[in-house]
């Protein structure tokens, strides 16, 4: 742990430190970090810089985002990030395997809130040890919101009493692969990578570089003290698309950027948009992947037997359904997974005149709307070269042919992946109104062919009436 910091630098009421503006001081910190860390993107160093400033002001906010340095392989610079963070934040507590009791007591330290730094966090939340660390996971989850406490029972003499331990403090984490989802959603995630060949950074040596780090820490403490009231009362404007939990995470960071001024408000918002978008690219959970694949394979069908649905899922080459833990998924796996999304699973339907167990699109409509992103309608406009209206793709699901294919014992025809007949399916054309697939059928007022639900209340196909629009 670094020695206690003594604040000696004079600070003006305008937020300037010895004649240096807060925004310029943040620039210095950013340049200092980039000397020793090969960040995966400029946005990452921006987020790291502002998070360090936030650690000096953590008691001024309602939320404190976790900062997570993660990578798929060792040797990607995570520990160096933690080392530099330790050098620049107030009251750092760097730990590789701290007990929950130790962490609780450090958070309650009368000297002030610590900045908790946990390296090799993957060892805590992976394998056989993960179940034994649920208390620590709960502490890290709850402690991102101010006022959060953890209840414990303690023995005092012959009595058992209850105690409330505060859990709110700034936390930075580093480890391999992923964190538990509950922690990921509370974190600004920096996906570290190994340096490219030829990229060189300075080695960080405490004996050589710590004096400069200590000076920056002192100046940060003084400069952030001058904006404490401002950031406490701030309601920063959030970029479009940053809402809910993402808003909780980025509000403190953007409030500090606004207080710093200069280029920082814009730079911070650009970083927020980029990093939130990257976070949303993470692989879907198995349940979400299943919902998405079912939507694809049922695009041309109102209903499918369970056997047919499983056959289509097994045939998707880019999905795991043909081999999960050495076996293809079966009806029990399907029912167990879909039940989590309140999808009825014991359904008897008429398919091709036979009563079979199966699913209708209407069973999935609510889950698709809640958990899957809406596909986007193709744009309709003028051809840039000719000036003519662009052709409109027919959005009506293609009819399913029943001319070929083998029947199973239930009389339902089997599906061969990639085939165009015998119950095969056509990959879905993007749609995107959020309207369910089981809307009442309508026909075009001009050509009398079916209208796709994605066209909403439009009376005529756009290609039938050039004046119509989606």
Residue-wise pLDDT for 364-402, tens only, equals: 999 999 888 775 544 444 444 444 444 444 444 444 444
By residue range, what is the domain housing residue 407?
A: 286-455
Least confident of 112-121, 133-142, 178-187: 133-142
Task: Read off the pTM.
Answer: 0.66
Highest mean pLDDT among 34-38, 118-122, 200-204, 345-349: 34-38
Structural domain total, the chain: 2
Length of the chain: 470
Q: What is the pLDDT of residue 353?
A: 86
The Cβ-side half-sphere exposure at 456, using a 13 Å CA radius, reads 10
Q: Where are the beta strands (DSSP E) in 299-364?
A: 303-305, 348-351, 354-360
Alpha helices in 134-241 (DSSP H): 134-142, 181-184, 206-226, 228-232
pLDDT score recorded for residue 157: 81
- What pLDDT is stored for residue 239 in this prediction? 93
Residue 54 CB neighbour total at 10 angstroms: 24
Residue 230 and residue 322 in one domain: no
Residue in this structure with the two tokens 């009421």, named with its chain if needed: 13
**Which comes out higher in pLDDT, residue 162 or 305?**
305
Tokens at residue 127, please? Answer: 């394998």
Burial grade of 46 (CB within 10 A; 0-12, 13-18, 19 or more) = buried
Q: Using one digit for the tens of pLDDT, what is the confidence trace for 90-115?
A: 999 887 766 777 788 888 877 788 89
Q: Are residues 99 and 230 in the same domain?
A: yes
Q: What percent of the chain has pLDDT over 70?
A: 73
Q: What is the arithmetic mean of pLDDT over 327-336? A: 94
As a whole number of angstroms, the longest Cα–Cα distance in the chain is: 90
165 shares its domain with 314: no
Whether the Cβ atoms of residue 190 and residue 47 lie closer than 8 Å to each other: yes
Angle made by CA atoms 175, 178, 179, in degrees to the nearest 5? 80
123 and 146 within one domain? yes
Whether residues 249 and 310 share a domain: the answer is no
So what's the pLDDT on residue 461?
60
Which of 254, 279, 304 lies at the terminal end of a domain, its last residue? 279
Q: Within this chain, do residues 110 and 217 fall inside the same structural domain, yes or no?
A: yes
CB atoms within 10 A of CB 168: 21
Is the distance from CB of 189 to CB of 275 less than 8 angstroms?
Answer: yes
Domain membership of residue 5 (yes or no) is: no
CA dihedral 287, 290, 294, 296 (to 10 degrees): 120
Burial grade of 47 (CB within 10 A; 0-12, 13-18, 19 or more): buried
Report the C-alpha gap between 151 and 241 in whole angstroms.
36
| pLDDT score at 7 | 33
pLDDT for position 444: 67
**CA–CA distance, 30 with 340 (Å, rounded to integer):** 45
| Same domain, yes or no: 91 and 62 | yes
Residue 20 pLDDT: 67
315, exposed or middle or buried, with CB in 10 Å at 0-12, 13-18, 19+? middle
* Pair (216, 310) in one structural domain: no
355 and 419 part of one domain: yes
Least confident of 234-243, 289-298, 417-426: 417-426
Beta-carbon count within 10 A of 13 CB = 6
Are residues 290 and 438 both part of a single domain?
yes
């Amino acid at each position: 742990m670094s020695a206690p910091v003594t604040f000696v630098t004079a600070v003006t009421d305008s937020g300037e430190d010895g004649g240096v503006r807060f925004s310029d001081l943040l620039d210095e910190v950013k340049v200092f970090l980039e000397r020793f860390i090969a960040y995966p993107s400029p946005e990452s160093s921006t987020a790291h810089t502002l998070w360090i400033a936030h650690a000096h002001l953590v008691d001024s906010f309602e939320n404190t985002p976790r900062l997570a340095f993660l990578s798929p392989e060792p040797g990607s610079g995570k520990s160096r990030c933690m080392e530099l963070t330790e050098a620049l934040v107030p009251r750092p507590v760097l730990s590789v395997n701290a007990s929950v009791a130790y962490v609780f007591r450090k958070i309650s330290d009368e000297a002030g809130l610590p900045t908790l730094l946990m390296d090799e966090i993957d060892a805590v939340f992976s394998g056989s040890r993960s179940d034994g660390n649920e208390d620590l996971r709960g502490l890290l989850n709850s402690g991102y919101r101010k006022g959060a406490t953890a209840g414990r029972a303690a023995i005092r003499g012959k009595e058992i009493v209850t105690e409330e331990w505060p859990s709110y403090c700034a936390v930075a984490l580093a480890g391999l692969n992923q964190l538990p989802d509950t922690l990921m959603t509370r974190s600004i995630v920096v996906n570290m990578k190994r340096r490219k060949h030829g990229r060189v950074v300075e080695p960080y040596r405490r004996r050589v570089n710590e004096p400069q780090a200590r000076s920056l820490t002192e100046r940060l403490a003084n400069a952030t003290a001058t904006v404490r009231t401002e950031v406490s009362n701030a309601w920063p404007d959030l970029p479009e698309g940053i809402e809910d939990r993402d808003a909780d995470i980025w509000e403190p960071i953007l409030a500090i950027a606004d207080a710093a001024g200069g280029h920082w408000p814009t730079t911070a918002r650009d970083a927020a948009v980029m990093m939130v978008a990257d976070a949303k690219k993470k692989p879907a959970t198995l349940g979400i992947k299943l919902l998405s694949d079912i939507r694809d394979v049922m695009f041309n069908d109102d209903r499918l037997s369970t056997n047919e649905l499983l056959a289509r899922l097994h045939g998707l080459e880019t999905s795991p359904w043909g081999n999960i833990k050495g076996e293809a998924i079966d009806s029990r796996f399907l029912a167990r997974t879909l039940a989590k999304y309140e999808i009825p699973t014991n359904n008897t339907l008429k398919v091709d005149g036979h009563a079979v167990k199966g699913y209708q699109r209407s069973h999935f409509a609510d889950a698709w709307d809640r958990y899957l992103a809406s596909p986007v309608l193709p744009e309709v406009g003028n051809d840039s070269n000719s000036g003519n209206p662009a052709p409109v793709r027919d959005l009506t699901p293609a009819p399913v042919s029943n001319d070929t294919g083998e029947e199973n014992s239930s009389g339902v025809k089997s599906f061969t992946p990639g085939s165009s007949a015998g119950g095969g399916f056509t990959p879905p054309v993007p749609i995107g109104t959020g309207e369910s697939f089981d809307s009442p059928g309508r026909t075009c007022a001009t050509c009398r062919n079916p209208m796709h639900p994605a066209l909403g209340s439009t009376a005529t196909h756009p290609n039938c009436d050039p004046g119509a629009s989606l």
